[in-house]
Chains A and B, each alone.
Chain A
């Protein structure tokens, strides 16, 4: 570590506070330099990242802190919903307002009529405790438009959550990515580890419907026909089984269903897959051989944001299956099973475990109508339908906690129509999210730099405890989440579930059985719970939570719910004329757009999105590079600049997610670019994996000249 740092001229009085970034949901460990109560610079935490490295968004945390275009005090709606008319309220007034409405809804319709959503992740204890204390089962998060399908696929195979494993990139020899644009939708440690892998001679095969920066670093890049990745994987499995490339020791011990799988993939040869994917049969075969040669130091990445098509669940199941066949589970350079503090004998207390788990049917039918989909993440896309139909019961109050469904769920107008019927829509946020702007009340949270959160566990080969810590005083009349939920609970007569007066007191309670104190986080920002990485014995001590204790390629749990373990590949509709399948992704400066898109120094790098179209298709439509085009779906249209390239599949059109901001208080991002979610009409659907089928959005594209003529 660079201890000479404090010697820096005029820097003797700089204090470094180790914390956790909040600019995106990767939550990198950070070192915040504070001088005279002001943030000087934010770096990566060198104790955990090996250097001060931190991505652009994280580094812009300072710009975010000192930006005034965020809620500065509690606000109550003073006009129609979404009118942007607000009146300032005191905290007591605003909390009373929300609590009164909640009490009212609870008395009139029952506790289940209140729901709450967030962005998932480790800092969810306060809101989950609050909702459970009320007695409502209706917690959900953003994963309907993110990881539901990959999560549920892993549950069905390993009974592990998507994030119960991590990827040992640095020791990996062969990495396969299906549209996982990890050098642009990036985390600091992950991108570094992948670059280390490439530098050490590891190979990366990148498969996507379009080129991007990750593709540019790949050893091999395939442009695949949209929605045909599943066909590719069936052929890969076919080759791996028929050519006897699989890891017999691992498969015999830990995998069930191989015979059925062998039967199932028989027709899916590389020659067949070439016709579906447009990847040459020889290349498919080569991919299988190369991956097998590198195994078990091989990772076929299951994906991050996987709200792709209706059958995405099956694509993800085949990716996990390929990893299982190649024995990558719990291998050096493969997929490793995360160890938790409990694996080191450390018990971290949580508030939510002190509250009785709410019973009763969920509004979204997780565990009942959707038997194979757990309630852990829920199905947020069903909220509008549940509100409007009052089925299975009325939903009358909704708290959006740092989650912005109006900006992230498909078809925001439909969402708004439903939310408009609520008796309470409240947002707790650091931003003017689109949902906050449409709310009855905004309870402004302190930024991640202005608050301390509860201790969290980072699971992995070396589980550890981490702490997000207040670095500076709040600039505005905002409050930390521990205070907001405690005060709301008090007003609902549920104060006993928040038995602390300060965050320090809560942390002391969390650490009570660990022998640790908050001071143990001072020096490096984390507490290591084991010196050596913890590996399970691959011969005998792997623990999969499935009924058989193995990786279930054929899943009895699924079949019990009348869901087949595999389905035949269905060729997607071929789009002609001016129709394209819309796909989206991110750039490094705006991953998960809405925290960052209005930050001046990030916005000046990327402030707009463009529509990528294949050169041949564009020529057919007389669209030239840089032309403005009209993009339309079912009554909604936007104007956007075309970017013409050979490096996108003919069937696809691409734009960056997160643009077309409709909140005028965000002056830099307001009205810039076109919103992808507004084009995703009619896609508030539940696919078999629980995801919205976002890539089934078919758009029409026309040159503007044609529109006006």
Chain B
């Protein structure tokens, strides 16, 4: 399962980011998901924008997991979600350096690492990630 984006419907309003931050208590500074506005590029008479929804790719062979010295960064076997066990995280930030896209980030409030885990409590219970659930225009989808 992963998050798909309907680019036609996305209006770049950033509701996904705020639902994510609210659901996961993400402090100012860190963003587990992000809308990257690209454009405008003139097509026909209309300047088109693309709003690229970005979050963790949940890699098949995640370097962040490999580099984690405490075993806090893990890949859940059942669904492939890459997540941090906050209890086990020692805050060494090795994963931040290891990730080519700087997906893991430091939670300045706790000194530990946070990252997108597809809201694993929610998705584990058959719900959708918060960004998908709250998206203003229903532009995000959770599926195979």
* Cβ A53 vs Cβ B137 within 8 A: yes
- A199/B8 in contact, CB under 8 A: yes
Q: Mark A215-226, 1 if CB is under 8 A from B, else 0.
A: 111111110000
Would you call A672 an interface residue if the criterion is a C-beta within 8 Å of the partner chain's C-beta atoms?
no
Q: Using a CB-CB cutoff of 8 Å, which residues 26-84 of chain A contact chain B?
A: 41-44, 51-56, 58-60, 62-63
Which B residues lie within 8 Å of A59 (CB)?
Answer: 15, 18-19, 22, 134
Q: Is the CB of A2 within 8 A of B127?
A: yes
Checking B17, B48, B130, B139 against A216 with a beta-carbon cut-off of 8 angstroms, the contacting residue is B48
Q: What residues of chain B lie closer than 8 Å to A62, measured between beta carbons? A: 22
Q: B43-55 CB contact bits vs A (8 Å, 1 = yes)?
A: 0011111000000
Interface residues on chain A, number (Cβ under 8 Å): 50
Interface residue tally for chain B (C-beta within 8 Å):
36
The answer to whether A216 and B14 have CB atoms under 8 Å apart is: no
Query: Is A1 an interface residue, CB under 8 A from the partner?
Result: no
Q: How far is the CA of A58 from the CA of B22 in the complex (A)?
A: 11
Q: How far is the CB of B131 from chain A (nearest CB, A)?
A: 10
Choice from A11, A55, A211 contacting B13 with Cβ under 8 Å: A55
CA separation between A9 and B124, bound complex, in Å?
A: 8
Which of B13, B21, B124, B125 has a CB less than 8 Å from the CB of A589?
A: B13
The complex places the Cα of A220 from the Cα of B48 at a distance, in Å, of 11
- Contact, CB under 8 Å: B9 / A199: yes
Can you list 17 contacts pairing A with B, beta carbon distance less than 8 Å?
A5-B127, A9-B124, A9-B125, A10-B121, A41-B23, A51-B133, A56-B18, A56-B136, A59-B134, A60-B22, A183-B11, A184-B13, A195-B9, A195-B139, A216-B40, A220-B46, A588-B12
Docked pose: A56 CA to B29 CA in angstroms: 17
> Is B106 at the interface (CB under 8 A from chain A)?
no
- Beta-carbon contacts of B98-137 to A below 8 Å, as 1s and 0s? 0000000000000000000000011011110010011111
Select which of B8, B14, B134, B139 is within 8 A of A44 by beta carbon. Answer: B134
Please encode chain B, from 62 to 92, with 1 for each CB lying within 8 Å of some chain A CB and 0 for all others.
0000000000000000000000000000000
Beta-carbon contact of B21 and A601 below 8 Å: yes
Partner of B137, one of A8, A9, A58, A191: A191
Instruction: Check if B39 sits within 8 Å of A56, measured CB to CB.
Output: no
> Does A4 lie at the interface of the complex (its beta carbon under 8 Å from any beta carbon of B)?
yes
* Bound-complex Cα distance A7 to B137 (A): 26
CB of A395 closer than 8 Å to a CB of B: no
Does A213 count as interface, using CB distance less than 8 angstroms? yes
Contact A218 B11 (CB under 8 A): no
**Distance between Cα atoms of A10 and B22 in the complex (Å):** 17
Which listed residue, A52, A183, A221, touches B134 by the CB 8 Å rule? A52
Interface status of A604 (Cβ within 8 A of chain B): yes
B10 to chain A, nearest CB (A): 9
- Cβ-based interface call for A186 (8 A): yes
Contacts of B137 in A (CB 8 A): 53, 191-192, 195
A residues bordering B, Cβ < 8 Å?
2, 4-5, 7-11, 41-44, 51-56, 58-60, 62-63, 183-184, 186, 188, 191-192, 195, 198-199, 211, 213, 215-222, 588-589, 600-602, 604-605, 647
Q: Which residues on A sit within 8 Å (CB–CB) of B125?
A: 4, 7-9, 11
Residues of A within 8 A of B23 (CB): 41
Question: How many Å lie between the Cα of A702 and that of B22 in the bound state?
Answer: 42
What are the residues of chain A within 8 A of B8 when measuring CB–CB?
A: 195, 198-199
Chain A residues within 8 Å of B130, by CB: 41
What 10 pairs between A and B have smallest CB-CB spacing?
A588-B13, A216-B49, A59-B18, A56-B18, A56-B15, A183-B11, A8-B125, A221-B46, A52-B133, A600-B28
- Tell whether, in the assembled complex, residue A55 and residue B15 are in contact, meaning their CB atoms are under 8 Å apart: yes
Least Cβ–Cβ distance between B5 and chain A, in angstroms:
13
Within the complex, the shortest CB–CB distance from B70 to chain A, in Å, comes to 24
- A218→B11 CA distance, assembly (Å): 12
The answer, among B15, B40, B122, for a CB contact under 8 Å with A647, is B40
In the assembled complex, the Cα of A7 lies from the Cα of B39 at a distance in Å of: 42
**A192 touching B15 in the complex, CB below 8 Å, given contacts A8-B122, A216-B46:** no
Closest beta carbon of chain B to A134's beta carbon, Å: 41
Chain B residue at minimum C-beta to C-beta distance from A219: B46
A54 CB contact (under 8 Å) in B21, B29, B121, B136 = B136
